[in-house]
Amino acid sequence: MVTSILPLRASDLKVRKSRRLLLDGVSLSLSGTGTTIVLGPNGAGKSTLLKTLHGMERLAGGDIQWALPDKQARDRQAFVFQTPILMRRTVLENVAYPLRLNGTSRKDAFRIATDWLNRVHLGKALNQRATDLSGGERQKMALVRALIRDPEVLFLDEPCANLDGRATREIEDLLQEVHAAGTRLIMATHDLGQARRLAHDVIFMHKGALLEQTPATTFFENPMTAQAQAFLNGDIVE
């Protein structure tokens, strides 16, 4: 019996907005293990790629196939945005929300949410309004809200942008833990140091095209394309 939504196979994806192709024929496959980091210069299409794979963008062409039917695949994925979406409720209610939607009782949802919040040292903030949290706290809250239904695949779009070193480290530690527990991570970042710390393989995007998908060591030591070499050198990538 097939129980995993992976592998994911995407072929010739095209996404068009305002007559511009934001994804231009992207094909890739993601198997069951590892952490994939999506790199590329500003505007390369990293966010668009993640949102497209998660089913948030309308395809102008191409095809996305999960190993299980779409409904099951959707239920077993989560997405963390660069700027967390906050409900005007308490931290506890925010984190418990996906479980409540799922039909979990209020008592059980609050208990599980409390455990998760303690795990990221937000136990003292349970009853605060989410909107009163700092940037790092908001992102930790968004991350545990995404994790609370134990997704098999977690997409993250620049989750540590604008965070200080300590908050970044806490989030990376949690990501390492959930990866070790079996969650497949696919994450865009601007931070090359973070990419080196977390990546098992790298997708390199440029102008809406996927130029490389290789193991991280190959990418960092021996990138194939001139654009990736320039990017790694800190040059302007044209």
Q: Are strands 20-30 and 8-17 parallel, antiparallel or unpaired?
A: antiparallel
Among 10, 13, 22, 37, binds ligand ATP (CB under 6 A): 22
Site for ligand ATP contains 17 (CB under 6 A)? yes
Determine the Cα–Cα distance for residues 17 and 60; give it in Å rounded to an integer.
9
Gap between the Cα atoms of 24 and 206, Å rounded: 10
Among 47, 52, 139, 227, binds ligand ATP (CB under 6 A): 47
Using CB under 6 A as the binding rule, whether residue 42 contacts ligand ATP is answered as yes
- The reply to whether 48 sits near ligand ATP by the rule CB under 6 A is yes
Report the DSSP pairing between strands 209-215 and 61-65.
unpaired
Nearest distance from residue 208's CB to ligand ATP, in Å? Answer: 7
If one asks whether residue 127 binds ligand ATP (CB under 6 A), the answer comes out as: no
Q: Count interface residues toward ligand ATP (CB under 6 A).
A: 12
**52 CB contacts (<8 Å, ≥6 apart)?**
10, 13, 15, 23, 59, 64
Q: How far is the CB of 19 from ligand ATP (least distance, A)?
A: 9
Q: Which stretch binds ligand ATP (CB under 6 A): 36-44, 59-67, 88-96, 134-142?
A: 36-44
- Options 37, 45, 154, 183; binder of ligand ATP; rule CB under 6 A: 45
Report, in Å, the least distance between residue 152 CB and ligand ATP: 24
Nearer to ligand ATP, 125 or 186 (CB): 186
40 binds ligand ATP (CB under 6 A): yes
77 near ligand ATP, judged by CB under 6 A: no
Residue 24's region, left for phi above 0, alpha for psi from -120 to 50, else beta, is: beta
Tell me if 76 contacts ligand ATP by CB under 6 A.
no
Nearest distance in Å: CB 22, ligand ATP: 4
Is 20 among the residues that bind ligand ATP (CB under 6 A)? Answer: yes
Residues that bind ligand ATP (CB under 6 A): 17-18, 20, 22, 40, 42-48
